[in-house]
Chains A and B, each alone.
Chain A
């Protein structure tokens, strides 16, 4: 998977790949880019979905656990996320964004909806350490160790970039992205003026981007 993505998980492949799908059919499915696999899923090829699942299930589950704070419920969101991918892969347009962006948006929205229905309070990022997330479970033996290592590396890089943000800026990002809170809700929850929340969000995203780019150039 490292071949497909930079440290932030953003696909680096050309969007023209979909036009050469058929020339890739003989390639090992594990070597195909996300976008090509998504096109195969749209054609009803379940092995392509399985490959995407193996690549991203742990990240999707991580997002869901983060938002919902409950692994059993998060596993339901995981299944539903890939079921949605199976059903609506044809609507994915690679020219409008990466597959992972699309996939994680589905997962996040499903998890936030499920969380709102269950009203379970999630925990902030800083309360969750890596060992804590490995809840008693039997890992899937089919998970690709190399891909999982890359995901873990991405995780460490993004986490260290986030750590450079002032706490109040990081808080706004977390509330908006992971908890699906509106800017008004964030202002109310933090007791800050709406204008302050706007400024913090903008500065946080600018700084986060700069940090990630710096990490990337070091690599």
Chain B
């Protein structure tokens, strides 16, 4: 916008009828051209008369009454706030007790409000988690159904369940017991903090053998192709534990899933 165009905005600036961008342009122009302020002031004096061009209308007494009540309430609230910290030290016991009771009541009310908020939030989170779990279980069912239709009869599926550490976790191991690999599908695992990972173990007797690191998404869902040097059918159980992100030679953290194969 050139200078001439900005000058054309001046009457509308005086009328307070410019958008924010135009207003900024004019104000920048006025800084650069202080002589233009004279024009603004002259036009502004005409604009300041415009409110008087409309006939005055007597307000109803109710409007003033409502306004003054609102202001009185505001003053009372401000006064209470001002007075609270500066109470005289020589309060009588009754006053002290009243003040204490009032304070306790306020704290109790605030506490109840905070608790209510937290309970509502937790309920919402639980409800959302349950919904996600149901949806994922349904997906798993569908995958199983399709797999059972598509794979040879040698393929088996083993249900996996979370331990007491993460009882909501569940999954399936899909494998041909004679092969050395299987597909692990898991849902409901809690996403881990940075620096931690889930590690899958195939267990023979009491000897765990690492079967890979398992990453889960924000919903706690993960898929891993499990590999082993010996057939899957030679193992007695499958476990998942929480380990440092590079993995461990032996389980060191919480066992979150443990199921017999």
Contacts and interface: CB of A to CB of B under 8 A. Distances in A.
Contacts of B52: 8-9, 59, 151, 154-155, 157-158
Interface stretch (B8-16, B121-129, B131-139): B8-16
Given A75-B63, A201-B11, A209-B42, A59 B56 contact: yes
B58 interface: yes
B83 interface: no
Name the interface size band of chain B. Answer: 35 or more
B74 A86 contact: yes
A63 B49 contact: no
A142 B64 contact: yes
A104 B53 CA distance: 12
Contact of B58 (A49, A82, A139, A212): A139
B39 to A, nearest CB: 9
B50 A158 contact: yes
A209 B43 contact: yes
B91 interface: no
A107 to B, nearest CB: 8
B56 A198 contact: no
A212 B46 contact: yes
Interface of A: 8-10, 44, 46, 49-50, 53, 57-59, 61-63, 65-66, 71, 74-75, 78-79, 82-83, 86, 97-98, 100-101, 104-105, 107-109, 125, 128-130, 133-135, 137-143, 148, 151-152, 154-155, 157-159, 161-162, 173, 176-178, 180-183, 195, 198, 201-202, 204-206, 208-209, 212
Interface of B: 8-12, 14-19, 42-64, 66-68, 70-72, 74-75, 78
